Structure 1
Amino acid sequence: MCSRYLGFFLLVWFPGALHAQSAALQCAAPSLDHGNFVPVKETYSHDSKLTYACRNTHKPAVEGWWAEIVCQHGTWSHTPRCIEEKACIPPTIANAKYTEASEGWYKEGHIIRITCDKGYEHKDNIATAKCINGTWSSLPMCEISIKSCRAPPKIPHAIIVDQGYQELFLEDAEVKYECEDGYSTEGSHKKTLFCLAGTWTEGPMCRSRPDIGHGGSVEVGPGEGHSTSSGHGTQPGSGGSSSTSANRPLFIPIENCGTRPNVPNGVVVEEHRMYLKFQCNSFYKQVGEDTVSCYNDGSWSKLPVCEDAFCVMEPGHYDRGLDLSVTEYIKEGETKYIPCTWPDYSVAVHCSNRRITYTRCCTTYDHHRGTCS
């Protein structure tokens, strides 16, 4: 009997509860001065999307000339707002902080001053930007400080302990290494490196312990190791036993390497006290590391190579209605539309593995439908 009444109660109460819960997830139509939004409704259900744009002399307080908001659990993802065209939205500056505007945007003429994160410094000593006619003047940048260190060196037969992954280490930061089982360094199993003036102190050398293996010893340091043996035979050419170790190549400031290296079809995009960073020009792809350092013997580390990454179509008559009067360059993986001899028709030219393929002359509509081959 009780269970029958309980079932009746749930049938009456539960739908009402579901309706109340659904209503709580809805968003009311937002207000928007100097703008319009679509679709226009009184309420919007959870996950509904609403697009809005601003009328003349105004723009959204986000990037772009139109914007979108989403209803999430009864609240819009952000409050739609139209601001004057000459105002500026908050800029994005990596590795930096600045005072945020209470309104969420900045009036024309406003000046912001950035503060670089720890381990970074102002590039060219520029720390401010001014809002001019809706855009920021040349934004300041924060680059890695010459006193900070990048990733610590890799040491054979050793691992880093008590340290999570980091891309940047502040000056005086320390990293602890631990030799693998069967290896030790200077009678210890651990060693610590320090970041000093942008360079890591010299690392440990993990060598095989004499009591491990076949009675010989192997010294291994950064670079290639050298083996010695004892108790069985002699060292070739020496008549006795000896012990040598590979010297780890040390990096020094690039000013000690003299003339800067040249990478054909490449340019230097970042210059640091301890390295140069290259980037290949458009239409070329990079092979090898982009960062070049100076060794302590005055030589440069291996340079990257910028290989061709484009196709060329010379002037002339081609089949399928294509006539070229100028040379056309197409990037690797790119599709370029070249006008045909007939108005409003073009050929889709594709470059892959430095080989060209192209379609017949088609309209833009046919190209987009994928029916042109």
Structure 2
Amino acid sequence: MYVRYLEFLVLACIPGFVHAQSATQDCRAPRLNNGYLVPEEDTYNHDSKLTYSCDKGRKPAVEGWWATSTCHNGKWSPEPQCIDEKDCLAPNIPNAKYTENQSGWYEDGHTIRIRCNEGYVPKGRRVTTKCINGNWSSVLICEKSIHACSEPPQVPHAVIILQGFQDFFAPDTKLQYECEDGYTVEGAGNHKYVFCLSGNWTEGPVCSKVTELGAGLGGSAETGTGGTQTPPAGSGTQPEGGGSTGRGTSPAGGAAFCVLDPAIWNNYKLSKVEYIKEGEPKHIPCNWDGYFSLFQCINGELLYYTCCHVRDRERNLCP
């Protein structure tokens, strides 16, 4: 007898044993106003189910005229409730958020306002619905925005930096590419970006194999002659954050200005040859609406920054 009692004490001191005991706790009969239980008992075993229904003028706080609840470790899930038949259950609106009642239901006359998830817009611009006599006044739908983008472009020898898989992306999404070892994007180190603009992705970067001659250049620009300059490979292929520099030469004779030739700088909206005075900052529009690049002529060399959206410039995120 003493040995068996000692064994019980040892088991009772083991955390797993205590948890196993508490995990099978029975439930007392739930208190249900304006309704009845089947079967009606004083206690119910763990994992057992009961069915309940409500009196005339009332309804369960779940779909249907009858409902079930399960005993789990001393608690009922969901808690049996009978509500007024004019009240409304929580609406199911995919891809939307709204203020939820803890009870899971809403009184007659209550109005909710939704906010669609990123990349979705309210269909027909409807964002509110009202509980009227047990039903919602309108069915709210959040649909995919026509300005959202599908899968981003695939780039050979590069991967996209993502937190997880996405089948589409919200407007203005910025995605970062990273070239694999041994490859680089000239003009931007080993990183490049694409933007989702009006349902389409801007052009992806090109990852080129690093050669012994170009290793360590980090995308430095080339220098032209005779008053023109050759832009770096891939310059302006898409808008991106941050700045980079390009080099050019002033016209022969050392005149104090630099030249932007549209035949060469074809990723910018240049209708004619632009002359930039020494030290003068000048914003040139990129091929993407709303994007500009800052150019400057310093000591006869052309300095430029990558394309930046006007909104980011207003927030001082780019020059």
Q: TM-score range by the shorter chain?
A: 0.5 to 0.7
Report Cα offsets for 1:257-280 as digits up to 9, x if no partner.
xxxxxxxxxxxxxxxxxxxxxxxx
Distance 1:13 1:72 in 2: 27
Alignment of 1:160-171 (within 5 A): 160-171=160-171
TM-score, length basis structure 1: 0.48
Report Cα offsets for 1:293-328 as digits up to 9, x if no partner.
xxxxxxxxxxxxxxxxxxxxxxxxxxxxxxxxxxxx
Query: Is 1:46 the equivalent of 2:59?
Result: no
Partner of 1:129: helix, strand, or coil? strand
Instruction: Quote the RMSD (CA, aligned, Å).
Output: 3.2
State the one-letter code of the partner of 1:118: E
Shift of 1:92: 0.9
Report Cα offsets for 1:233-278 as digits up to 9, x if no partner.
xxxxxxxxxxxxxxxxxxxxxxxxxxxxxxxxxxxxxxxxxxxxxx
Query: Is 1:56 the equivalent of 2:56?
Result: yes
Distance 1:208 1:55 in 2: 76
Structure 1: state its 5+ residue gaps.
212-373
Instruction: Provide closer, same or farther for how the CA distance between residues 77 and 102 of structure 1 changes in structure 2, counting only shifts above 3 A.
Output: closer
Report Cα offsets for 1:149-180 as digits up to 9, x if no partner.
33322334432135422234344332122344
State the one-letter code of the partner of 2:114: I
Alignment of 1:74-85 (within 5 A): 74-85=74-85
Report Cα offsets for 1:201-221 as digits up to 9, x if no partner.
11123456678xxxxxxxxxx
Q: Between the two structures, name the one with larger relative contact order (CA 8 Å, sep ≥ 6).
A: 2
Structure 2: state its 5+ residue gaps.
213-319
Partner of 2:151: helix, strand, or coil? coil
Distance 1:178 1:127 in 2: 40
How many aligned residue pairs are there?
206
Match of 1:119 in 2: 119
Alignment of 1:205-244 (within 5 A): 205-207=206-208
Match of 1:284 in 2: none
Distance 2:62 2:173 in 1: 39
Shift of 1:11: 5.1
Shift of 1:56: 2.5
Q: Which runs of 4+ in 1 moved over 6 A?
A: 12-15
| Contact 1:178-1:190 at 8 Å conserved across structures | yes
Distance 1:11 1:98 in 2: 52
Match of 1:25 in 2: 25
Instruction: Provide closer, same or farther for how the CA distance between residues 198 and 12 of structure 1 changes in structure 2, counting only shifts above 3 A.
Output: closer
Match of 2:200 in 1: 199
Distance 1:200 1:92 in 2: 32
Distance 2:123 2:177 in 1: 33
Distance 2:45 2:147 in 1: 53
Distance 1:40 1:205 in 2: 72
Instruction: Provide closer, same or farther for how the CA distance between residues 190 and 172 of structure 1 changes in structure 2, counting only shifts above 3 A.
Output: same
Distance 1:109 1:11 in 2: 59
Distance 1:181 1:6 in 2: 68
| Contact 1:163-1:175 at 8 Å conserved across structures | no
Distance 1:30 1:207 in 2: 69
| Contact 2:23-2:73 at 8 Å conserved across structures | no
Distance 1:11 1:106 in 2: 50
Distance 2:150 2:9 in 1: 66
Instruction: Provide closer, same or farther for how the CA distance between residues 39 and 22 of structure 1 changes in structure 2, counting only shifts above 3 A.
Output: farther
| Contact 1:128-1:139 at 8 Å conserved across structures | no
State the one-letter code of the partner of 2:196: C
Distance 1:179 1:21 in 2: 56
Distance 2:123 2:162 in 1: 33
| Contact 1:58-1:82 at 8 Å conserved across structures | yes
Alignment of 1:202-351 (within 5 A): 202-207=203-208
Shift of 1:186: 3.7
